[in-house]
Structures are given as structure tokens and as C-alpha cells.
């Protein structure tokens, strides 16, 4: 597996990481612990060194799973986790609101360290921008944790340009994690140029469009009630039908490259910038192999131009989130 550096920070990770959320949260009930442990360890054996989790995934289940599974590889992998939500006091899934007060950030860090079985958090993201706490205070709290040796790098997720700049002025931001894929390209307008200017790495989540860009979904695809895609406008039967044009484009390119649609979607991200590191999630060994195979799919400048031109002619139907969740992004 090739390595990449996230911006100018010097933090080196595998070119493709592994998003761990779906193992415990959002995509139906938590998966079998033994199977997921085997999957995480197989990822390491295949060269993955970058793993993404968060306290809210479960809550806590995902951090505990990742911590136990990766304990034998301590010091050889990079684990990213997140703070920023006020979780339900009874431990049930979901949250009561946002909370990025400095004292809360520091308490979350201590708890995450224990669950992850590590001495220092490699990359600590603010999960969502808290409008009630100045970003300077958030960056300052993480700066304190870095100086105390409990965190190595500071990250933001779904933050807007001005927030990124203000945070970066207090504590250097190593990476931004936000949604980015062929069917969600809003970061290209302002976010990506700002990251390039400031030397910040980009970690796209949902790089396969929450599974849609794999080409395995049709208008007849259904989701369990506890699969959060059942609540997303972009995954209604009508939207799934209307958006097949994007999958058709990927299938055409994949055929020419002797690859799969998912591999082309990931290869497109890798070819876009050398400091972009996608973190596709999966709960299946064969999908892990498929995703990692994207690292050897080569897209030329002509390929990228052709994809750009073709994708620009496709209108994507359906909002990516319900309004309440979308309001928590690009702040």
C-alpha cells in the first residue's frame, strides 16, 4: 500500500484508510465483534495504517472495537477519533446536541484514550462545528492536549472556510474530514483551494456515496429502519432511479480500466490531489480487497478531464441530508 502525507503536517498514512463507523453504527445493528476484529486486522496486514472512529459511533462501541482489535499494532497504525457531541446520558444511540466546550473536549480525550488503549490520539477531530463555542477556544483546548502529549494532530470535520482559517491560526489543522465524492463535489468550490493554500490534508468520508457508487443499488433497494440511509433524501426510490446516470458513467470507465465502479470512484479521488486520503468503510472482507485495489488503478490527466466533463452533465437528485443535519455542516 502506498503512503501519503496529510498536507504539510508530516502525518504519513496509507493512501486509503478505513472508516470504521458502519461496524457499530448507522448501517443497521452492530456487526459481529469477532468478524469485525478479523476485518480490522486483515486491513493492517494488507497495508492500511489509517483508521477512523468516533465516540458517538455506538456510542463508544466503535472506539472499544477499534482499540481492542488494533492493540497488537500499537505504534504502527494511525487512529483518528472525534469529539463534539453531547451524548444521551442513558448511553442510547444518538446525541442531545453539540458540545465543544474546552472542559468537555479534554474529558472526551481522556475517555477515548482508555477505550482506544493508546497513550496518545494520533488525530483528534472536532466532529461538527459548535456555533456556541468560538473555534479559537476549541483549537486552544486541542493545543493544550497536544502540549500535554495526549494528542498529536488537530482536525476539523465539515467546517467552513472561515472556521478552518480561524482554527488554523490558533493550532495548525492537520486534516479536514468532510464528505466528498463524484456525487458530492461542493468542497471543490472553496474548501479544497483553502486546504491547498494552508497545507491541510483532506480526508473524504463517504467517498463511495454511502454505497451508491459501488453500483450495487437500484430503485428497488430497501434499507432497514435502523440504517440511516432510510432517512436520507438521496436514497429514496425516486432518487436512486434518477441518480443511476452517475453509476453508469463509473461502469463505463471501470470497464475500460478493468476495474469496478467503486475502484474508479476512489481512484478519481486519489488522482485529484496527492494529499487526499479517502476512508471508505466496509464490513466485508471482499469489499475491503476491492477498495484497496483502487490504489493501483491509474487515471491519466485525459481520464480525469473526461470524467469531469461527463460528471458535469449529470444532475444529482436529492439532498444528501435532511435539513437539520445539513445545517450542521459548512459552518
- CATH of residue 25's domain is 3.20.20.100
Tell me if residue 321 is catalytic: no
Residue 65 in domain: yes
Catalytic residue chosen out of the listed positions 57, 125, 180, 205 = 57
Q: Which pLDDT belongs to residue 90?
A: 86
Residues 6+ apart with CB under 8 A from 255: none
Residue 67 in domain: yes
The model's confidence at residue 94, banded by pLDDT at 50, 70 and 90, is confident
How many domains does the structure of the chain reveal? 1
Angle at 124 between CA 68 and CA 196, to 5 degrees: 130
**pLDDT tens-digit readout, 181-207:** 999 999 999 999 999 999 999 999 999
Residues 6+ apart with CB under 8 A from 246: 182, 183, 209, 212, 213, 311, 314, 316
- d(CA 82, CA 304) in angstroms, rounded, equals 33
**pLDDT tens-digit readout, 164-173:** 999 999 999 9
Residue 91 in domain: yes
- Give the residue-averaged pLDDT of 230-251: 95
The model's confidence at residue 38, banded by pLDDT at 50, 70 and 90, is very high
**pLDDT tens-digit readout, 275-292:** 999 999 999 999 999 999
Residue 271 in domain: yes
Residue 331 in domain: no
Residue 214 in domain: yes
Helix, strand or coil, per DSSP, at residue 192:
helix
Residue 290 in domain: yes
Residue 242 in domain: yes
Range of the domain at 17: 3-326
Amino acid at each position: 500500500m502506498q503512503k501519503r502525507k496529510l498536507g504539510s503536517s508530516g502525518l504519513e498514512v496509507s493512501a486509503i484508510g478505513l472508516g470504521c463507523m458502519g461496524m457499530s453504527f448507522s448501517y443497521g445493528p452492530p456487526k459481529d465483534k469477532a468478524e469485525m476484529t478479523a476485518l480490522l486486522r486483515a486491513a493492517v496486514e494488507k497495508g492500511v495504517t489509517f483508521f477512523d472512529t468516533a465516540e458517538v459511533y455506538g456510542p463508544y462501541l466503535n472506539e472499544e472495537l477499534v482499540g481492542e482489535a488494533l492493540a497488537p499494532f500499537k505504534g504502527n497504525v494511525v487512529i483518528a477519533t472525534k469529539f463534539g457531541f453531547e451524548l444521551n446520558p442513558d448511553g442510547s444511540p444518538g446525541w442531545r446536541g453539540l458540545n465543544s466546550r474546552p472542559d468537555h473536549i479534554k474529558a472526551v480525550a481522556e475517555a477515548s484514550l482508555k477505550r482506544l488503549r493508546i497513550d496518545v490520539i494520533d488525530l483528534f477531530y472536532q466532529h461538527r462545528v459548535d456555533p456556541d463555542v468560538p473555534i479559537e477556544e476549541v483549537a486552544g483546548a486541542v493545543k493544550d492536549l497536544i502540549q500535554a502529549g495526549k494528542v498529536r494532530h488537530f482536525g476539523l470535520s465539515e467546517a467552513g472556510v472561515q472556521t478552518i482559517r480561524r482554527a488554523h491560526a490558533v493550532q495548525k489543522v492537520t486534516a479536514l474530514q468532510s464528505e466528498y465524492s463524484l456525487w458530492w463535489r461542493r468542497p471543490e468550490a472553496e474548501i479544497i483551494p483553502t486546504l491547498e493554500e494552508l497545507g491541510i490534508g483532506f480526508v473524504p468520508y463517504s467517498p463511495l456515496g454511502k454505497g451508491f457508487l459501488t453500483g450495487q443499488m437500484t430503485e428497488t433497494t430497501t434499507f432497514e429502519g435502523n440504517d440511516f440511509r432510510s432517512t436520507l433524501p438521496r436514497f429514496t426510490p425516486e432518487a436512486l432511479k434518477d441518480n443511476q446516470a452517475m453509476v453508469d458513467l463509473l461502469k463505463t470507465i471501470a470497464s475500460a480500466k478493468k476495474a469496478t465502479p467503486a475502484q474508479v470512484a476512489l481512484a478519481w479521488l486519489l488522482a485529484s490531489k496527492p494529499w487526499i486520503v479517502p476512508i471508505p468503510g466496509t464490513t466485508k472482507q471482499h469489499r475491503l480487497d476491492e477498495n484497496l485495489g483502487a490504489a493501483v488503478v491509474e487515471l491519466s490527466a485525459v481520464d480525469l478531464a473526461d470524467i469531469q466533463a461527463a460528471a458535469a452533465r449529470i444532475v444529482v437528485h436529492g439532498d444528501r441530508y435532511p435539513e437539520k443535519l445539513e445545517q450542521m455542516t459548512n459552518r
